[in-house]
Amino acid sequence: MKTKNYKGRVIGLLVIAFIATNAFLIFFDEEDRVERKSYVEKWSKSTTYNLFERLNVNGVFASEEANSVYFNDDIGSFQEFLVEEGQSVSDGDDLYTYEVVDYEKQEAQLESEIDRLEEEEDAIDDYIDELEDYDVPEPESDDDEDDSSDPPSYVQTEYLVEERIAEQEAELAKVEAMLEMVEDQLDQLEDDGQEITVTSAYDGTVTHISESLEAPILTLKSTNLIVKGEFSEEERRLVEEDMAAQVFIEDLEVQTPGTLTSVHEFPEEVEVQRASRYPYEIELENADETLLPGYHADVDIITDSALEAVTVLDSVLVTEENLYAWVMTEEGVLERRTIETGIEENGLVQIIEGLEDGEWLADQPEDEFRRQATFITPINIRDLSVQKLFDSEMGNQPTYGLLGLLSR
């Protein structure tokens, strides 16, 4: 009886030692010489997606432009305003009237102003012609070098020329409107000789009328809207002009794209005990008609982007000394692969190096992942079509059955 118990104990100890030895070998098998399988319950697939790095700031809608209208009491006696605050006016609409005191002096002043505006108009026209005739030198191409090595000066210069032409054309339109207004005043003076009606050179809304005739006597603000705001010191370092932007008003469910057209290099106030703020302006592409000056908005500045980038869920990436992921290979084993990442947005990560589009990555459970291990994974019955099991011709089914028996 004692001999049987002794043998049982020895066998038990040997079994425990065998299990412990195998567990010990598996645990310290850093070179993966012991073949093991990985159970992968959840997979994720790399996909192509557009990712953006955004800077969220606050902004407020404002009129794109404010124009002031003046009256010189040396040239006449003010009569009356022909507009009211809040009234919308267009180029050529009547604003106010005044009575001429000195005909010859007023005539000379108007003619002098016309000459000045015509000279300014000619100068702007000549400058626009020069810009349009400017031939932007194309970069020298070298077949032996990658195109990415060429400096982007050609594209930048071409863009700057087009931008300058647009600015000058806008300035020319203002000068032409002013010239038309002054010529109209001279015509009135020559026809009547007594009273002159001053017309508007701008489109906009009357936002201020000075009944005391303090300059300016009228202020017109354009109906075109922009978004204004301020960047903190840290935010200012992240942005530059011509970055794309998205403007949101959650309450109105309004979203409109725009461009960061102006970023000040100097803060409005410089104080030792106060953080600096840098004003910015965003030009809108299509402002919703329901928007009004003064409405507050959330603004996303697109500081960086990765278009058509290979992306994965951040949950499949593992961080130790280096970032890596467990990838399914064509041989049906798991490969631990080092990954280089870029932009992250909403749980998606840009893969700069290490993965291609359409590769499968092991997601869960992480403690089951091993180098070059054959994996097993559960079958999702919902992904199987029962009908496909019976789609094959009935004549082939016995053949498949025999093949199955022979393989046994």
End-to-end, the C-alpha distance of the chain in Å comes to: 46
Tokens of 56: 């969220």
CA distance 256 to 158: 27
Token pair of 308, please?
């058509």
The per-residue DSSP string of 291-316 comes to --TT-EEEEEEEEEEEEEEEEEEGGG
Edge-to-edge strand ranges of the sheet holding 195-199 = 76-81, 94-100, 195-199
- Residues contacting 49, CB < 8 A, separation 6+: 308, 309, 311, 348
Q: Which residue type does 234 have?
A: E
Q: Report the distance separating Cα 12 and Cα 20, nearest Å.
A: 12
Q: Given this model, what pLDDT does residue 149 score?
A: 43
At residue 349's C-alpha, the angle toward residues 346 and 350, to 5°, is 130
pLDDT at 55: 96
Q: Do residues 61 and 226 lie in contact, with contact meaning Cβ atoms separated by under 8 Å?
A: yes
Vertex 49 angle, CA 46 and 53, to 5°: 115
Q: Which residues contact 134 (CB under 8 A, 6 or more apart)?
A: 161
Torsion, Cα of 320, 323, 328, 332 (10° steps): -50
C-alpha 51/C-alpha 143 separation (Å) is 32
* Cα–Cα distance measured from residue 177 to residue 182, given in angstroms and rounded to the nearest whole number: 9
Backbone angles phi, psi at 173, to 5 degrees: -60, -40
Q: Which residues contact 215 (CB under 8 A, 6 or more apart)?
A: 68, 70, 71
Q: Which residue is listed with tokens 């003010």?
A: 78
Phi, psi dihedral angles at 209 (to 5 degrees)? -130, 125
Amino acid identity of 83? V
Which pLDDT score, from 0 to 100, does residue 369 have?
56
DSSP state of 148: G
What pLDDT shows up at residue 94?
93
Instruction: Write down the pLDDT at residue 406.
Output: 43
Give how far Cα 305 sits from Cα of 98, 348, 349, Å: 58, 13, 12
**How high is the pLDDT of residue 207?**
93
Residues 6+ apart with CB under 8 A from 145: none
Residue 284 β-bridge partners:
258
Say what the pTM is: 0.63
Q: Which residues contact 333 (CB under 8 A, 6 or more apart)?
A: 372, 373, 374, 375
Q: Give pLDDT < 70 ranges for the chain.
A: 1-10, 12, 14-15, 17-18, 20-41, 138-156, 319-322, 364-408
pLDDT digits (tens, 9 = 90+) for 89-142: 998 899 999 998 888 888 888 899 999 999 999 999 999 998 888 887 766 655
pLDDT, residue 244, reads 94
Sign of CA dihedral 196, 173, 108, 183: negative
Q: Give the number of C-alpha atoms closer than 13 A to the C-alpha of residue 157, restricted to the C-beta side.
A: 12
Burial (0-12, 13-18, 19+ Cβ within 10 Å), 352: middle
- Residue located via tokens 């109906």: 223
Please give the CATH topology (third level) of the domain spanning 40-64+224-408.
Elongation Factor Tu (Ef-tu); domain 3 (2.40.30)
The structure tokens listed for 316 are 């499949």
Could you state, in order of their start, the residue ranges of all structural domains in the chain?
1-34, 40-64+224-408, 73-139+151-215
